Amino acid sequence: MINIEGILDAEAVAEVREIVDTGPWVDGNETSGHQSRLAKRNRQLKQGCDEAARAGRIVLQALGNAPEFIAAALPLKIFPPLFNRYEGGEAFGAHVDNSIRGVAGSDFRIRSDLSCTLFLEPPEAYEGGELVVEDLFGEHSVKLGAGDMVLYSASSVHRVEPVTRGARTACFFWLQSMVRDGGAREHLYRLDRSIRTLSEERGGGDRVVVDLTNLYHNLMRRWADT
């Protein structure tokens, strides 16, 4: 799991909220698989509507300008961003995301390697609503600031706790990474962070920086699909 702060600044969050808040909200099971449908109680901005497309473009543009996101996810294809809302006790019980996601009426299809939740509501504005992700080390609870995002493995079991006060509005989507293997992605992300740190300390022309950069790209050639 990787938390990335400031994907959207306050102005962009306000712009996205102004768009989605006036859009058509429907039952969240519009995009659910069979198992998820049994656990899900929320609302969702209607997939494919003009508001979802406009807000989604803002999110995608911000992602393209977020080096930490690019380094962590190594995105090949990103599912068109969706938007959901929980309030009045709504929740999403333990579930697993579908391994393959497609857009109805099109040939767009991805393998869901990573799940992404971009929070659009200040955490003090609602109670509950934590995203809880399970792995071999237990459960990890996430509730971030408006404009901040969490990336986590789409293969994990996860849930959203009931929202007991206020409303939790968020953007969510999946992506297919150029690097399928999660362990390889983690190695590349750690290596990338080390290269950036050393570049700031020594300069990009430093021989160690050059050698590590060469290693990074050779590993990408070995592991990545395009």
Q: 137 or 126: which carries more pLDDT confidence?
A: 126
pLDDT tens figures, 171-190? 999 999 999 999 999 999 99
**Burial readout 46-79 (b: 16 or more C-beta within 10 A, e: otherwise):** beebebbeebbebbeebbeebebbebbbbbbebb
**What gap in Å lies between CA 84 and CA 20, rounded to an integer?**
10
* CATH for the 2-177 domain, from 2.60.40.10, 2.60.40.1180, 2.40.30.10, 2.60.120.620: 2.60.120.620
Residue 136: per-residue pLDDT: 86
| pLDDT for the residue 164 | 97
Q: How many CB atoms lie within 10 A of CB 22?
A: 9
Predicted structure pTM score: 0.92
| Average pLDDT, integer, range 126-155 | 96
- Average pLDDT of the chain? 94
Distance CA 56, CA 103 (A): 14
129-153 b/e with 16+ CB inside 10 Å = b?
A: bbbbbeeeeeebebbbebbbbbbbb
Residue 34 has pLDDT above 80, yes or no: no
